[in-house]
Structure 1
Amino acid sequence: MNLTPKQLHILSRIRDIRLARGYSPTMQELADELGVSKVTVFEHVEALIKKGALRRQPNKARSLELCEEVDLPDETTGLKLPLVGTIAAGSPIEAVEQREHLDLESMFTPPGSAGNTFVLQVRGDSMIDEHIAEGDYVICEKRNAARSGQTVVALLDSGEATLKKLYHESGNKIRLQPANDKYEPIIVEAGRVQIQGVAIGVVRSY
């Protein structure tokens, strides 16, 4: 797909805003961010739609989304690391070499969900008892619903996004439960929270 640097930048901004806010930017918001006119952004968007990199729903605001076939330069195409054996965290065991690889992309891309995973870096310690610490990277699968007990990315109607364990309560309520006794749960009506994704893994660097 032959895209110009400006078109790649627009695609990246649309992707980032969708992940951060849960919805797409308007043409005016894109124009303000890029420091260009709304007409210029509209021309780029139309070109991207014709190239099959972008799509939108007719007569619907904030409906811009990237097509699954798009690979942006800042997105990895896969990462395999050598898996050389097992190691005990309790009693010592014999180390045995294994000539295998750990494919992180396939591990964090469930079947049928290609292009539907994203990563968020954690700020704060509200999920520390779930072994999710500040600075960790949480791998999430895009979903708009979740089961009780799953760790979710939730967008409140205040515009705040948060990582919490979700529980369905009686009376059409949702409880967003932190994994740290220092914090109180957030209890809201189901219609006042949007599920953006479900956590499927955590990566930590030292």
Structure 2
Amino acid sequence: MLTRKQVELLSLINERMQADGVAPSFDEMKDALNLRSKSGIHRLITALEERGFIRRLPHRARAIEVLKLPEKMARSEPLSVIQGGARAAPPRPAGGMAVQSAGAMEVPLMGRIAAGTPIEAISEVANHIGVPGAMISSRSKHYALEVQGDSMIDLGINDGDIVVIREQSTAENGDIVVALVDGHEATLKRFRRTKGMIALEAANPAYETRVLRDDQVNVQGRLVGLIRSY
């Protein structure tokens, strides 16, 4: 049986992974659970891992797999599989979990996206890839891109990962988006609007935030999932 705080943290991690494709930071967890220090989060994470609800991936910042949910939570919150799988084929769910009533759906794999210095915009379908149906909505268009670079590594997005993107032209502060810069450079960054400008934030201290005019940035989609091959 889980404590109330353990359930709250597990719910937070699961919701954020479904929404953003990555787990929240320890600071975000601490603030959400109204804890005074990150040591309390470490204890909760360890307890959830020991009980088999989550798994931490070694040597990857903020990389957490949700392996299962408590029965009550599972009935009300369908689990979206984010990690695991093979490229160009229907992914194998993380941790050996079965995806029920949510078969794999194919989305176009459009090529590579820079998580670093922006690269030339991607416009041609290179292949197709199967993703869990729970990860995407049939009401929206989606596509996949292979990550190139390490500027988003602190959010658990590594070089070589496949990101699943929902097509949309708008973004909220904090969203991880595919941004088209000056009409020809595409990059994967966190979106933030500030003082009439748009900031494209990296998640790696080695990269500077790019601050651009509104007319220089065209949002191409929002991150909804992450697929990693092992």
* TM value normalised by structure 1: 0.51
- The whole-number CA distance in structure 2 between the counterparts of 1:181 and 1:100 is 36
Query: Does residue 125 of structure 2 align to residue 125 of structure 1?
Result: no
CA drift at 1:159: 1.5
Preserved contact between residue 183 and residue 218 of structure 2 (Cα < 8 Å): no
1:199 corresponding residue in structure 2:
223
What percentage of aligned pairs have identical amino acids?
34
Write out per-residue CA displacement over residues 33-62 of structure 1, whole angstroms, 9 at most, x where no aligned residue: xxxxxxxxxxxxxxxxxxxxxxxxxxxxxx
Any runs of at least 4 consecutive aligned residues in structure 1 with deviations exceeding 6 A, and if so which? 94-99
2:178 corresponding residue in structure 1:
153
1:190 corresponding residue in structure 2:
214
Q: 1:92 to 1:184 in 2, by over 3 A?
A: same
Unmatched 5+ stretches in structure 2: 1-46, 54-66, 69-95, 106-132
CA drift at 1:108: 2.6
2:4 corresponding residue in structure 1:
none
Q: Secondary structure at the match of 1:148?
A: coil
CA drift at 1:100: 5.7
- The whole-number CA distance in structure 2 between the counterparts of 1:98 and 1:161 is 34
- The whole-number CA distance in structure 1 between the counterparts of 2:98 and 2:206 is 45
CA drift at 1:158: 5.8
Q: 1:104 to 1:179 in 2, by over 3 A?
A: farther
Q: 1:98 to 1:176 in 2, by over 3 A?
A: closer
CA drift at 1:103: 3.4
Listed as ranges, the matches of 1:158-177 within 5 Å are: 159-170=184-195, 172-177=196-201
**Residues matched between the structures, number:** 116
- Of 94, 102, 109, which aligns to 2:136? 109
Unmatched 5+ stretches in structure 1: 1-87
Match of 1:164, as an amino acid? K
Bigger-Rg structure (1/2): 1
Structure possessing the higher relative contact order (Cα contacts under 8 Å, 6 or more residues apart): 2
- The whole-number CA distance in structure 1 between the counterparts of 2:214 and 2:166 is 20
Query: Does residue 49 of structure 2 align to residue 90 of structure 1?
Result: yes
* TM value normalised by structure 2: 0.46
Q: Secondary structure at the match of 1:199?
A: strand
